């Protein structure tokens, strides 16, 4: 039976003035709303009372807005009534308002969508059929899994020490045992088993962070991500033991992508080529360093092979999922290529966010041939996925019937899901190239995406405030501080002598190149 919250809108003529009465299904009249407006507290209580009916209310927003229009016109000269009308319209237009960011305790809803058992469908969700009929409209199970891997990639930013005045700049602020706990990701059911480091003195633009101090934890390396594995409970839910590699990207991409040399470098035999800078990060090593005696490539594959051996001995089905944002998405593809080459038959998926092009057509075709499933999440306003080869590829795209087989042209691999910043009612309508590349923007848009032709979903669960962690992209009406994610007192602490100082790290949080999970931890 269809339920309509709007019962009637009627005009009542009195002796002195005209009254408009808007009656809602949950028994609130316009007169009652007008009376409540005299007190902010009462209006807040009214909103909370209505919260249980928000689902019904969202179904009739359009009807409600049309009904309110004559009310606005009739009360344009009455400030009190106009204030209430504006409040009601805000309530009808946005699932979130400023009061949603006040702590209402038990009345608030969870920030995560419910977990579903996907054990019988995990292969389809990881691209068995190249995500046909799962992207538009976006299947809710797929949405949740993509966001999960996106949050693993986001952890590489949230845990990274960007402070140039820190002796540990370029490392992770937490040891691998504490990373998920400190960042609130333990509910995903994964355990970090190894940290991965890459050389920071490779032939690329300024992609790495370095301390301005004389003595640092490492002058040669940066923390580039981690390997994790699903625990028993999560493995049962998702239908296999999932090994994850999360690659860190870069914070300010627009500058270094304009300087990026579009030089392709041959790998192996044949015509396969990839971007030189990406490969140098993935493959560089030096015997004279502490953290990169092995390259990032060798570190990852050594740990993945160790985990596969351990869980295969227990008779378990295993998958390898690689995720990354920006530069991390490029490294994820190189990682997938190597894993597919060296471990035939292993189900490998890449979930990337705002990733650039990595290789040529032969590289793309080889990934397809080896069964690597790649899903690229891109935002329409983000310029990074258009690089390298922005100008060249745009021109050649118009001559695709001639150039589609050129091996010196960059090609994207796999399937893609395109999002649009303008679909979210919470984001500013201004063009911000850096803001549109932010991973939290990607995750926000994903959480609200239903299909290309439908609006932002009204029941999106992910916390909208996360968008402004490192941006200023939320509309002012929400009153969320910009760039709010930072250490208290910018990292200073008050010591026992009453002096503000840079704290030393706990011994277990000092970077170590040898830290890997023991077999006892994996049980």
Rounded Cα–Cα distance for residues 370 and 348 (Å)? 9
Q: Helices 296-312 and 276-283, interaxial angle, to 10°?
A: 60
Instruction: Find the catalytic residue in 163, 220, 382, 447.
Output: 382
Residue 250 backbone dihedrals phi, psi, to 5 degrees: -125, 155
Rounded Cα–Cα distance for residues 131 and 148 (Å)? 17
**First vs last Cα of the chain: how many Å apart?**
51
If you search the block for the tokens 């303008």, which residue do you land on?
A: 422
User: Is 435 within 8 Å of 472 (Cβ atoms)?
Assistant: yes
CA dihedral 125, 127, 123, 236 (to 10 degrees): -50
User: Is 192 within 8 Å of 303 (Cβ atoms)?
Assistant: no
Rounded Cα–Cα distance for residues 425 and 429 (Å)? 9
User: Is 367 within 8 Å of 414 (Cβ atoms)?
Assistant: yes
Q: Which residues pair with 359 in a beta bridge?
A: 274, 411
DSSP-derived secondary structure letter, 455? P
User: Is 247 within 8 Å of 323 (Cβ atoms)?
Assistant: yes
Q: Helices 327-342 and 296-312, interaxial angle, to 10°?
A: 50
CB-CB neighbours of 421 under 10 Å: 22
Rounded Cα–Cα distance for residues 25 and 4 (Å)? 7
Rounded Cα–Cα distance for residues 379 and 418 (Å)? 6
Rounded Cα–Cα distance for residues 275 and 267 (Å)? 10
382 is catalytic: yes
Rounded Cα–Cα distance for residues 421 and 404 (Å)? 30
Task: Please name which of 226, 455, 224, 467 lies closest in space to residue 328, comparing C-alpha atoms.
Answer: 224
437 is catalytic: yes
Rounded Cα–Cα distance for residues 484 and 467 (Å)? 10
Structure tokens belonging to residue 290? 């502490």
Rounded Cα–Cα distance for residues 234 and 240 (Å)? 9
Instruction: Find the catalytic residue in 211, 230, 326, 352.
Output: 326
Rounded Cα–Cα distance for residues 297 and 305 (Å)? 12
CA dihedral over 500, 501, 502, 503, signed as positive or negative: negative
220 is catalytic: no
Instruction: Find the catalytic residue in 75, 126, 325, 437.
Output: 437
Residues involved in catalysis: 326, 382, 437
């Amino acid at each position: 039976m269809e339920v309509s919250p709007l019962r009637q809108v009627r005009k009542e003529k009195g002796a002195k003035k005209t009254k408009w009465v808007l009656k809602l299904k949950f028994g609130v009249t316009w007169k009652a709303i007008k009376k409540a407006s005299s007190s902010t507290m009462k209006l807040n209580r009214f909103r909370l009372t209505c919260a249980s009916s928000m689902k019904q209310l969202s179904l009739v927003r359009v009807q409600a807005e049309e009904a309110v229009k004559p009310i606005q016109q009739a009360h344009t000269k009455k400030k009190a009534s106009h204030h209430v009308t504006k409040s009601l319209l805000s309530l009808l237009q946005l699932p979130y308002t400023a009061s949603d960011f006040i702590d209402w305790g038990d009345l608030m809803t969870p920030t995560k969508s419910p977990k579903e058992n996907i054990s019988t469908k995990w292969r389809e969700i990881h691209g068995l059929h190249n995500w046909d009929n799962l992207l538009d409209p976006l299947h809710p199970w797929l949405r949740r899994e993509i966001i999960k891997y996106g949050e693993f990639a986001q952890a590489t930013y949230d845990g990274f020490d960007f402070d140039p005045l820190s002796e540990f700049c370029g490392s992770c602020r937490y040891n691998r045992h504490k990373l998920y706990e400190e960042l609130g990701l333990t509910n995903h059911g994964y355990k970090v088993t190894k940290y991965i480091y890459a050389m920071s003195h490779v032939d690329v633009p300024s992609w790495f962070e370095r301390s301005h101090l004389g003595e640092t934890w490492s002058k040669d390396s940066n923390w580039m991500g981690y390997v994790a594995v699903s625990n028993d409970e999560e493995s049962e839910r998702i239908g296999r033991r999932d090994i994850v590699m999360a690659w860190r990207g870069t914070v300010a991409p627009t500058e270094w992508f304009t300087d990026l040399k579009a030089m392709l470098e041959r790998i192996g035999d044949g015509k396969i080529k990839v971007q030189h800078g990406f490969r140098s990060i993935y493959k560089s090593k030096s015997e004279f360093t502490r953290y990169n005696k092995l390259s990032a490539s060798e570190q990852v594959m050594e740990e993945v092979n160790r985990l596969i051996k351990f869980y295969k001995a227990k008779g378990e089905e295993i998958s390898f999922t690689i995720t990354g944002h920006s530069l991390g998405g490029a490294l994820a593809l190189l990682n997938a290529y190597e894993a597919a080459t060296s471990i035939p038959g292993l189900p490998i998926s890449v979930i990337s966010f705002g990733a650039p092009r990595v290789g040529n057509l032969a590289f793309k075709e080889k990934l397809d041939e080896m069964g690597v499933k790649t899903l690229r999440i891109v935002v329409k306003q983000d310029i990074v996925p258009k690089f390298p080869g922005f100008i060249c590829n745009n021109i050649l795209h118009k001559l695709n019937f001639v150039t589609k087989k050129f091996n010196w042209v960059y090609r994207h691999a796999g399937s893609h899901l395109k999002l649009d910043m303008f679909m979210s009612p919470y984001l500013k309508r201004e063009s911000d190239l850096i803001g549109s590349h932010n991973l939290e923007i990607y995750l926000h848009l994903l959480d609200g995406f239903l299909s290309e032709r439908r609006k932002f979903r009204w029941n999106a669960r992910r916390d909208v405030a996360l968008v402004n962690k490192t941006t200023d992209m939320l509309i002012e009406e929400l009153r969320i501080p910009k760039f709010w994610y930072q250490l208290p007192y910018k990292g200073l602490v008050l010591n026992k002598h009453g002096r503000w100082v840079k704290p030393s790290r706990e011994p277990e949080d000092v970077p170590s190149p040898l830290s890997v999970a023991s077999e006892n931890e994996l049980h």
